[in-house]
Amino acid sequence: MNPVTPALSHSLLAAASSVAAVESGQSLTEALADVHPDVRPAAQALAFYAMRHWGWAKAVRRTLVEREPASATMYALIGLSLLLLDASIRAREESPAAGTPVYSAHTLVDQAVQATQWHRSTASFKGLVNAVLRRFQRERAVILSRIENDLEATWNHPRWWIESLQKNYPQNWQALLAAANAHPPLTLRVNIRATTRETVERAFAEQGIETTPFGVAGLVLRVPRPITSLPGYAQGWWSVQDAGAQLAAPMLDVKDGMQVLDACAAPGGKTAHLLELAKVDLTALDVDATRLERVHQNLKRLGLMRRGVRLVAESAIKTHIWWDGKPFDAVLADLPCTASGIVSRHPDIRWLRRAQDVQQTAKLAREILDSLWSVVAPGGKLLMVTCSIFPEEGEQQAQAFAAQHAQAERLSAPGQLLPHLPDAEHPAGYDGFFYALFTRRT
Ligand SMILES: C[S@@+](CC[C@H](N)C(=O)[O-])C[C@H]1O[C@@H](n2cnc3c(N)ncnc32)[C@H](O)[C@@H]1O
């Protein structure tokens, strides 16, 4: 059981305000950046927990609160407190799952009520928060039986999302949702330009950190830790990258001297991997200048910001602005998408997306792909990547692209990679990605 800290009411309020921000369309990372640094770690843990269980929280809240209060933060505080109260009651009967924040029921109710008092504007919600939480304690069994068959409450994803998976993956939609709700391991890719995997393994072992190797340069840590405290971070020995994403760069089979374009590069995970694999001339594009700055920082830390590397803040669609007419031997199109394949690492994504986003991002991705095709050299390759599991953004997109471009020949690539939990064969597991590789016929 977590110790009683005077800051719990502050963390609850900050987490609730971050959850409310997600509900209004802001990413959880952005929302947490606005939280006071003293409270942020605790608020982050609570908000991440809330996102993984928000379908349940909303369903229970609906049974208890008839009219949504004017304050979105107070409404989120009710949902969050209900979740934590339920975890505290369950902890008496079963041992809590890893990562479950458990407080005594008394502390929780007390601190949730206290959280309403930190602002004059929310103090009037004291009675409501208190009444809802006490009623949940009294009527829990009946309330839980009422939401038993609620899809969103069971799977903690929006209904439209669950229905899309049921339609597209009738055999394994439940496994996909379970994987999305699991806690992923921390997965690293060793920078083979800077060191060897053995050196990194040894440095971790010296600090008592257990790692398991996978693939060519991967290492996985079962227990995630703050990355900047791990050995070799400052020296650029490794990057954090999911095992599924580590497949991308090698598929382009880059060789020294090749002209390479990374068209949607930020924050630069795959850009760095390409530069680790060969001494290529590389142009990294991203439409978002702020995100592109992160590519710069990452390449600098990894010692890869060398001659022949060009970073351009521009849209891939506007080839007339950034392209000098020299065709590329290899083009990586890591397209903007709903990110439905990486929900276990970003549990807020499911609540940020709307059903119509799937078509909209697929349309933008299609425009980017069509533009990029014009810069691929004869015999050159274009790798289409998304971190989505919706076929509209993956296989359907790849087929439409191939049908449109007669010179595009589809080569062997994994296609739809569905999220996979770690097991003996895949110790790091992997997120969901889509890969299609094309070459321009000569
Ligand atoms: C999936 S992320 C890329 C991840 C990156 N390749 C990595 O491995 O770290 C997609 C990126 O596409 C960028 N983007 C969106 N529209 C774009 C456009 N029209 N042109 C270039 N980049 C774009 C986004 O800003 C975002 O950084």
**Cα distance between residue 333 and residue 436, in whole Å:** 10
For the beta sheet containing 259-262, the strands, ordered from the edge strand earlier in sequence to the opposite edge, are 309-313, 281-286, 259-262, 328-334, 376-386, 433-440, 408-417
Q: According to the per-residue pLDDT averaged within each range, which of 2-6, 119-123, 379-383 is highest?
A: 379-383
CA pair distance 15, 23, nearest whole angstrom? 12
Q: How far apart are CA 390 and CA 433, in angstroms?
A: 10
Share of the chain above pLDDT 70, in %: 99
Q: Ligand 1 centre from 414 Cα, in Å?
A: 21
Q: What is the sign, positive or negative, of the torsion defined by CA atoms of 111, 112, 115, 117?
A: negative
Q: What percent of the chain has pLDDT over 90?
A: 91
Q: Which of 71, 28, 32 is nearest to 51 (CA)?
A: 28
d(CA 275, CA 256): 10
Q: Is 269 in the pocket of ligand 1 (CB under 6 A)?
A: yes
From 59, 109, 375, 387, active-site residue: 387
Range list of β-strands (E), 28-141: none
3-state DSSP assignment of residue 377: strand
**pLDDT above 60: residue 6:** no
Residues linked to residue 189 through DSSP beta bridges, in sequence order: 218, 239
pLDDT of 3 > 60? The answer is no
The answer to whether 332 and 437 are in contact (CB under 8 A) is: no
Round to whole Å and give the CA distance between 238 and 285: 22
Q: What is the pLDDT of residues 51-96, one digit of tens each?
A: 999 999 999 999 999 988 899 999 999 999 999 999 999 988 888 8
Query: Ligand 1: which atom is nearest the Cα of residue 273?
Result: 8
Q: Which residue in 334, 349, 337 sits closest to 390, CA to CA?
A: 337
Ligand 1 atom 15: the closest Cα is on which residue? 336
Question: pLDDT value at position 101?
Answer: 85
What's the confidence (pLDDT) of residue 242?
97
The fold of 8-154 is: N-utilizing Substance Protein B Homolog; Chain A (1.10.940)
- How far is the C-alpha of 84 from the C-alpha of 68, rounded, in Å? 20
Phi and psi dihedrals of 17, rounded to 5?
-65, -35
pLDDT band at 4 (very low <50, low <70, confident <90, very high): very low
Model confidence at 5: pLDDT above 70: no
Ligand 1 closest atom vs CA 245: 8
Q: What is the DSSP secondary-structure string of 190-242?
A: E-TTT--HHHHHHHHHHTT---EEETTTEEEESS---GGGSTTTTTT-EEE--
Q: What angle do CA 71, 19, 157 make, to 5 degrees?
A: 120
Amino acid type, 147? I
| 397: Cβ contacts below 8 Å, ≥ 6 apart | 362, 365, 366, 369, 384, 386
Mean pLDDT of 156-170: 98
1 pLDDT above the threshold of 80: no
Contacts of 179 (CB under 8 A, 6+ apart): 344, 418, 419, 420, 421, 429
Does the bond joining 267 to the residue before it have cis omega, within 30 degrees of 0? yes
Q: What is the DSSP letter of 429?
A: -
Query: What is the overall mean pLDDT for the chain?
Result: 95
Token pair of 330, please? 């290899």
- Taking the C-alpha atoms of residue 394 and residue 389, their distance in angstroms, rounded to an integer, is 7
Stretch 247-252: mean pLDDT, rounded? Answer: 98
Written as six digits, the tokens of 428 are 């790091």
Candidate of 273, 286, 372 to mutate for ligand 1, largest count of ligand atoms within 8 Å of Cβ:
286
Q: Phi/psi of residue 75, each to 5°?
A: -65, -40
- What is residue 230's predicted lDDT score, i.e. its pLDDT? 96
Amino acid at 375: V
Averaged pLDDT, 133-150: 97
Q: From 262, 287, 317, 337, give the residue whose CB has the most ligand 1 atoms within 8 Å, as the site to mutate.
A: 287
Let me know if 387 is a catalytic residue: yes
Query: Any idea where the domains of the chain sit in the sequence?
Result: 8-154, 185-241, 247-440
Q: What is the CATH number of domain 185-241?
A: 3.30.70.1170
CA distance 393 to 338: 8
Residue 309's DSSP bridge partners are: 282
Tell the residue number behind the tokens 């924050």, with chain if given.
267
Give Dmax over CA atoms of the chain in angstroms: 73
Asked if the model's pLDDT at residue 224 lies above 70, the reply is yes
380 lines ligand 1 (CB under 6 A): no
* Mean pLDDT of the 428-437 span: 97
Virtual torsion, Cα 158, 163, 169, 170, nearest 10 deg: 130
Residue 269 CA to ligand 1 centre (angstroms): 11
Residue (of 421, 415, 339) closest to 161 by Cα position: 339
Ligand 1 centre distance from Cα of residue 315 (Å): 9
The span from the CA of 113 to the CA of 158, in Å, is 29
Q: Is the CB of 10 under 6 A from ligand 1?
A: no
Q: What is the pLDDT of residue 442?
A: 86
The CATH number of 247-440 is: 3.40.50.150
